[in-house]
Amino acid sequence: MTIISRLKPLRHFLVAASVLLGTAACDNEPAAERPNQVLVFSKTAGFYHASIPQGIALVQALGQEHDFGVDTTTNAANFTEENLKNYAAVVFMNTTGDVLNAEQQADFERYIQAGGGFVGVHSATDTEYDWPWYGKLVGAYFNGHPNNPNVQDGMVDVVDKNFEGMGNFPDRWEHADEFYNFKNINPDIKPLLKMDESSYNGGTNGDDHPMAWYHEYDGGRAFYTNFGHTDETYAEPLYKEHFWGGLHWAMGGEQAPALNYEQVKSERVPAENRFEREMLAQGLNEPIAMEILPDDRIVIIERRGDIKMYHPDTKKISVIAHIPVFNGKYRDNRDAEEGLLGIALSPNYAQDHYVYLYYAPEGGAARNVLARYTLEGDNLDMNSKVEMLEVKTQRDECCHTGGSIAFDAQGNLYLSTGDNTNPFDSKSMKYNSNGYGPMNGTPGREAWDARRSSANTMDLRGKVIRIHPEADGSYTIPDGNLFPKDAKDARPEIYTMGHRNPYKISVDQKNGYLYWGDVGPDASTDSTGRGPRGYDELNQARKPGFFGWPMFVGNNRPYNHYDYQTGESGEPYDPKKPINDSPNNTGRKELPPVSPAFLYYPYAESPEFPIVGKGGRNAMAGPVFYSDLYQHTEGTFPAYFDGKLFGYDWIRGWVLIVTMDDEGNLEKLEPFMGSTKFNNPVDMKFDKNGTLYVLEYGNPRWFAANDNSGLSHIRYNAGNRTPVLAMSADKTVGAAPLTVQFNSEGTKDYDQDDLTYEWYFGSSNVASTEPNPSHTFDKPGVYKAMLQVTDAQGATATMEKEIMVGNARPEVTITVPNGNQTFYWDNRSLAYDVQVADKEDGTLADGKINPEDVYVTVNYLPDGYQPVAEGEQEEEALGHEAMMAQSQFAVGKRLLEGSDCRACHSNDQKSVGPAYLEVAKKYDDSEQAITLLANKIIKGGSGVWGEQAMPAHPQLSVSDASQIVRYIFSLDQQDNAMAPSKPAKGTLVLNDHQKRGNAATGDYVISATYTDKGANQITPLTGSNQLILRNPKLKAASADGPDNLFLYDVPGIGQIVVGMGGGYMVFKDIDLTDVNGITVGVSAPAEQTKGGDLELHLDKPDSPAIVKATVSTTEQMGMQQVNLPLSGQSGKHDLYFSFVGPAGQGLYAVSTVEFKVGTGNTTAMR
């Protein structure tokens, strides 16, 4: 356990002394007692309050005065059930942000339910917004505070003098502090102090503005005081009494009962490492949805019309049917989203074998249909088709199909449909939707008006339909839909309406609640004249309703009326009385009041639900789990998930567990398998055993097959866990003899078993039982190095790594002679030199390597260089893309040049065989095509391009043949067209950034690659290197190694670093050549910081400072600059910026660190 300070009460020492003197009782088992310790927790994930040390000191002083122990920590790992049992109360001392993970939250809930105590100080209400249980515990959430100044004098009304610590307060208490406004105030709190908002500026809670309170909550006790922003507060005698009274009450008072874990309700969160994920299949072609049959076979539908069957006995997938579907192009040449969209099994599948499909039929009228088929074995009987329902659409313009199907426990079928509306701007229109609600009523622009579909009561698009299928293939309307069965101006099939693209739905099989993810619009910012930015929604319908689109989005935020002819904005729509005033509306004009969104989030970070992250978005609804609905076997998910919804996001790749109360209200969001990367999950379902299957669309391409698409199976392991392996080698290629140091560091067993190691190096004999052996491969060849680890229970795990001996990888270096190798500056030339050395091919310097075989690129990355982690795909890392494309295709090119293929083929002219360009045009670049042609190259063949046979090439591996095919395909891929190479040695003027204005902050990447010719039957190898030249103005938050610092988000500025006395931040490997000064952007408002010195140390934090500047406090919040002049430094160093001042105090904030070059670029010292 990480403890900053531990103070023990005096009675602990008296007890120890009595034991030593032989006076302690030993005949009777002592009764269970409440612990006599408190834990002070001061972790911050947002703003750091400089007064935290004073708050901690107060608790420690009270511990000494009242004889109880005090532990202090910022480490959330201490929130385990085993550790929390040691405390009578836990103090959240000015915590901010999301400070506990799901496991820690559950253990803290259990602690409170066992009778534990909680004390929240000041910004404890600015903590854990994603955790409604905590919001009720602390009593309210922060909703802003006064500004200019934030700390004011005010009058506090004393409400309850009978509570402990309140007896000496006057009726009205004058106090200076930062007075919070609150939202979501728990009505059960018992106020002790309230603010008189007339006595200061900035209050928003009115006459009932509580500032300190207590209450009993969920089995425990909670006390909160808003006061504690300033250092001075903790020294006030009345405040000390107030704080001690609340703490003592929370600890249980004089007759404190013992903690009782028999009464807890919250389940402990299952450890992520107990979930075991197995990939069953990969390389699918746009998988969309699946169903699990009673015999465990899995039916998978792909958007292009294939229906596939996964067989668990053979672990293979086969195509069992094809539905002819429309999946071509729209009028603007965009790929159509239509196709085969939804599948569901009949609730009585075991008897009737009915399968329901929703799709866009090929040809004919623009429409989507819901059809029923019969599935017998692996045969989908195409003659059994019965069309049950038709949804009329348009196929000229993009987009939004919906198409998800689900059944409830009563046998009702739910079908989601999209708004079939074009969200994109049209060049032929002066005024467009611009990513806001599309409501263009201009004649001829019907496809840009979602009021004609989603908000139209006579249209089935943009809806969730609820019907009851009948045995004869017809359907009836169940009771309780949104509109009466005999309505003349509304379709009775409609259950919910006002949806944009409800792509995945599910129905709670116990309470019948409907869930769906609705993919939202693209606007990234709010607009005064148009309305709110776009939000995705994860929605819940406990009853039928109108959910707002296209007049509303998110939490019922209204769009404005908008004239597409003049560009003028009108009044916003009214969510209480929405009117569909579209000229394209054929249904009711007045719609039901808008139902609220359940969960909603934009592209940016969500203030309401920060756990969802930021970036692209595509919300989807998975199943609601109930353990009693499944057969319990090995792998069944635990009861912890009972009643919880599995929500997920196709783009962001996360899965969230949504916990609700008995009425269905949101209580908590937590990640499921948060460290697992799901590759665009598109469907998930539990099987009869309560284990989870996940269907993944894959990335990075839409409307195409992706290698990492697939089907995975997740089981819960309640018993012994298989060891988790880590295996590395210091080299995997090289000339013979090759000595390789292997390492198993990171291998672990979650059950703490002893492990045995067995290493195999190309044979079936155990070569070593050491964890980290070394092995020499004497002869050229390709070897499989395998590590097998076995735990004490006999569970084994293996991992392999390929070692290629006989060809050394080329070494590529990039140097900048006499220049700075870290930064670039405006209008400065850069001389560079690339050198290549290859053990088999020679070097550039000796002339044996042709300079034209060295590929050099220079790219400017506007968003900066981001190293790509193993297994990830970074679309915007242009430097990576250029280098990896060269590497990938150069290997194939080298293999092709070294083969006999050139005798019969050329790039663009037909010879004995077809031109490579013809081959590339004939096939798409899918993995299936690559595999097909790779096998043809290896095995030979004829008949595709004429009678001339292609000879076999059995010497090639599948991997090498695939590289050849990829190179051939690249010849016809404009996206893979390579930029011309720069010379291996030259001079550059880096000015691309200047085209982007003064705000440009990107990096330049100079990349160099060389692919050798291969040797000793080892495939050609690519050597590469990159030189990253950074913008000289660095963000302080990007520092490599902060110590005793805190990050804080400032609107309009971004993240800043708050430096604490005794802390430092370090930027590693910085070249100081030509740098004559460093300008640091700082802020030191006197209300929040102390000010202090800023020192620069080279290479070590305790080396002598080479320069120092003083940062003085200012009256107002704002940025200032301090300059650190440099003279005579050069070469690369680790730069330590040390914050010198009172230890543990917040000295000042740092925003930027800018490196200056030349003369006249520095500012005066402040």
Give the tens place of pLDDT for each residue, 986-1027: 999 888 888 766 666 788 989 899 989 989 988 888 888 999
Q: Does 901 show up as a binding residue in the annotation?
A: yes
pLDDT for residue 88: 98
Bridge partners, residue 386, by sequence: 372
Asked if residue 1159 has pLDDT above 70, the reply is no
- Which residue has better confidence, 9 or 1071? 1071
- For 1099-1137, letters b (16+ CB in 10 Å) and e give eeeeeebbbebebebbeebebebbbbebeebeeebbbbb
Distance separating alpha carbons of residues 10 and 1117, to the nearest angstrom = 45
Instruction: Write down the mean pLDDT value for the chain.
Output: 89
Mean local confidence (pLDDT), 697-716: 90
pLDDT for residue 900: 63
pLDDT for residue 942: 63
| pLDDT band, residue 485 (cuts 50/70/90) | very high
pLDDT for residue 969: 78
Mean local confidence (pLDDT), 53-80: 97
Give the tens place of pLDDT for each residue, 30-53: 446 889 999 999 999 888 898 999
Q: Got the DSSP string for 370-386?
A: EEEEEEETTEEEEEEEE
Q: Which of 47-61, 199-213, 331-345, 917-931 has the lowest mean pLDDT?
A: 917-931
pLDDT for residue 50: 85
- Which residue has better confidence, 49 or 19? 49
Q: Does 155 show up as a binding residue in the annotation?
A: no
Mean local confidence (pLDDT), 374-403: 97
Q: Which of 347-356, 848-857, 870-879 has the lowest mean pLDDT?
A: 870-879
- Which residue has better confidence, 215 or 331? 215
- Which residue has better confidence, 1086 or 563? 563
pLDDT for residue 325: 96
Give the tens place of pLDDT for each residue, 776-834: 999 999 999 999 999 999 999 999 999 999 999 999 999 999 899 999 998 888 999 99
Domain 728-805 CATH (choose: 3.30.1010.10, 1.20.120.80, 2.102.10.10, 2.60.40.10): 2.60.40.10
Give the tens place of pLDDT for each residue, 847-860: 999 999 999 988 88
pLDDT for residue 8: 53
Nearest to 645 by CA among 494, 510, 482: 510
Nearest to 50 by CA among 131, 150, 144: 150
Distance separating alpha carbons of residues 320 and 329, to the nearest angstrom = 26
Q: Which of 290-304, 751-765, 1136-1150 has the lowest mean pLDDT?
A: 1136-1150
One-letter identity of residue 257: P
Give the tens place of pLDDT for each residue, 724-741: 999 999 999 999 999 999
CATH topology of domain 5-263: Rossmann fold (3.40.50)
Q: Which of 352-356, 477-481, 868-872 has the lowest mean pLDDT?
A: 868-872
Say if 5-263 and 1033-1157 have the same CATH topology. no
CATH topology of domain 1033-1157: Jelly Rolls (2.60.120)
Distance separating alpha carbons of residues 166 and 176, to the nearest angstrom = 18
Give the tens place of pLDDT for each residue, 121-170: 999 999 999 898 999 999 999 999 998 788 999 999 999 999 999 999 99
| Ranges of each domain in the chain | 5-263, 618-712, 728-805, 811-1029, 1033-1157
Distance separating alpha carbons of residues 1003 and 1026, to the nearest angstrom = 12
pLDDT for residue 1121: 93
- Which residue has better confidence, 429 or 1095? 1095
| pLDDT band, residue 870 (cuts 50/70/90) | very low
Distance separating alpha carbons of residues 1070 and 1131, to the nearest angstrom = 8
Alpha-carbon 148 to chain mean position: 36
Residues of the chain with pLDDT > 70: what percent? 90
For residue 26, whether the previous peptide bond is cis, meaning omega lies within 30 degrees of 0, is no
Q: What are the Cα distances from residue 330, in Å, to 116, 333, 454?
A: 62, 5, 20
pLDDT for residue 879: 36
SS (H, E, C) 165-181: CCCCCCCEEEEEEECCC
Nearest to 685 by CA among 504, 503, 911, 494: 504
Distance separating alpha carbons of residues 993 and 1000, to the nearest angstrom = 6
| pLDDT band, residue 317 (cuts 50/70/90) | very high
Outline where DSSP puts E strands in 108-208: 117-121, 141-142, 151-158, 172-178, 182-183, 190-195
pLDDT for residue 1020: 87
Q: Which of 124-138, 498-512, 1112-1126 has the lowest mean pLDDT?
A: 1112-1126
Asked if residue 20 has pLDDT above 50, the reply is no
Asked if residue 543 has pLDDT above 90, the reply is yes
User: The domain 811-1029: what is its CATH number?
Assistant: 1.10.760.10
Sheet containing 298-302, strands listed edge to edge, beginning at the edge strand earlier in sequence: 287-292, 298-302, 306-311, 316-322
Instruction: Please give the torsion angle defined by the CA atoms of residues 1074, 1076, 1081 and 1085, in that order, rounded to the nearest 10 degrees.
Output: 160
Residues of the chain with pLDDT > 90: what percent? 74
Contact 1069, 1132 (CB under 8 A): yes
Asked if residue 898 has pLDDT above 70, the reply is no
Q: Does 950 show up as a binding residue in the annotation?
A: yes
Nearest to 1149 by CA among 1096, 1052, 1095, 1083: 1083
Bridge partners, residue 666, by sequence: 660
